[in-house]
C-alpha cells in the first residue's frame, strides 16, 4: 500500500564527502554516462578511477602526496642544507689546495737546501774556496819553516841566492870601495879577510824537474 511518500536511502558520510569533492564528482559522472562510448570506457577501465589513474601496483602509479609538494618548510630546509654543504665543500677544497701549495713550498725549500749542502760539500772536496786562505809561497809564517816538497825547495834555493848575492855585493863594496890597505887607517888594526860566500846548492829535485843533466 502506497501512501504517496518517496523513500530515499540516506547517503553515508563517505558519499556526502564525495559529493563535495570535485575530482570524485567528475569521475562519478564519467562512470554514470550512457551510450556506447561510456559502456566501452567502463568495461576497459582498470579500476573505479578510470583509465587516467593506474592501479596501485602498476609501475606508473604515484600517490597524490608524492605528486604534489606539501612540505614547503622541509624544502626550504633542504635548500639551506644544500647551500651549506656546497659552501663547506668549497672551504674543504680550498683547504686541501692551500695545504698542497704549502707542502710544495716546503718541499721546494728542502730541495734548495739539499742542493746547497751538496754544492758546499763538493766545494769542500775540491778545496777551491780554501785556496783563498793559503799563502802564495810555500813558507809557514808560524813555524818559520819551508814546506816539504819541490815548491819549498825552490823557495829555499831562491832565498839562498838572494842572500848569496847580498853577501857577494857586500864583499865587492868592501874590496872596491874601501881602502886598498890591509889595515884599518883609523885604528891601525888588521882588516878582516872577506871570503867569498859559497854558491847555494841547487836541489836535485829542481834539476830533475827542470830538465838539467
Confidence at residue 210, expressed as pLDDT on a 0 to 100 scale? 46
CA atoms 59, 61, 63, 68: torsion sign: positive
pTM (predicted TM-score): 0.35
Nearest to 199 by CA among 152, 165, 155: 165
- Residue in this structure with the C-alpha cell 518517496, named with its chain if needed: 6
Confidence at residue 212, expressed as pLDDT on a 0 to 100 scale? 45
| pLDDT < 70 regions, the chain | 1-4, 45-53, 130-133, 177-182, 184-185, 192, 204-213
Residue 167's contacts (CB-CB under 8 Å, 6 or more residues apart) are 197
Confidence at residue 208, expressed as pLDDT on a 0 to 100 scale? 46
Confidence at residue 180, expressed as pLDDT on a 0 to 100 scale? 65
Confidence at residue 25, expressed as pLDDT on a 0 to 100 scale? 80
Amino acid at each position: 500500500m502506497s501512501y504517496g511518500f518517496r523513500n530515499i536511502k540516506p547517503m553515508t558520510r563517505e558519499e556526502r564527502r564525495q559529493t563535495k569533492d570535485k575530482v570524485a564528482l567528475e569521475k562519478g559522472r564519467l562512470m554514470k554516462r550512457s551510450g556506447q562510448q561510456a559502456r566501452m570506457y567502463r568495461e576497459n577501465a582498470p579500476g573505479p578511477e578510470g583509465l587516467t589513474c593506474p592501479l596501485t601496483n602498476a609501475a606508473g602509479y604515484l600517490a597524490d602526496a608524492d605528486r604534489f609538494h606539501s612540505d614547503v618548510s622541509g624544502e626550504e630546509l633542504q635548500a639551506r642544507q644544500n647551500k651549506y654543504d656546497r659552501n663547506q665543500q668549497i672551504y674543504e677544497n680550498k683547504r686541501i689546495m692551500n695545504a698542497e701549495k704549502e707542502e710544495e713550498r716546503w718541499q721546494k725549500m728542502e730541495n734548495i737546501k739539499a742542493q746547497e749542502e751538496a754544492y758546499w760539500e763538493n766545494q769542500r772536496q775540491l778545496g777551491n774556496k780554501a785556496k783563498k786562505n793559503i799563502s802564495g809561497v810555500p813558507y809557514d809564517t808560524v813555524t818559520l819553516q819551508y814546506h816539504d816538497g819541490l815548491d819549498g825547495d825552490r823557495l829555499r834555493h831562491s832565498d839562498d841566492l838572494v842572500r848569496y848575492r847580498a853577501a857577494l855585493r857586500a864583499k865587492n863594496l868592501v874590496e872596491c870601495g874601501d881602502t886598498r890597505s890591509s889595515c884599518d887607517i883609523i885604528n891601525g888594526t888588521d882588516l878582516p879577510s872577506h871570503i867569498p860566500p859559497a854558491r847555494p846548492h841547487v836541489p836535485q829535485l829542481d834539476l830533475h824537474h827542470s830538465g838539467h843533466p
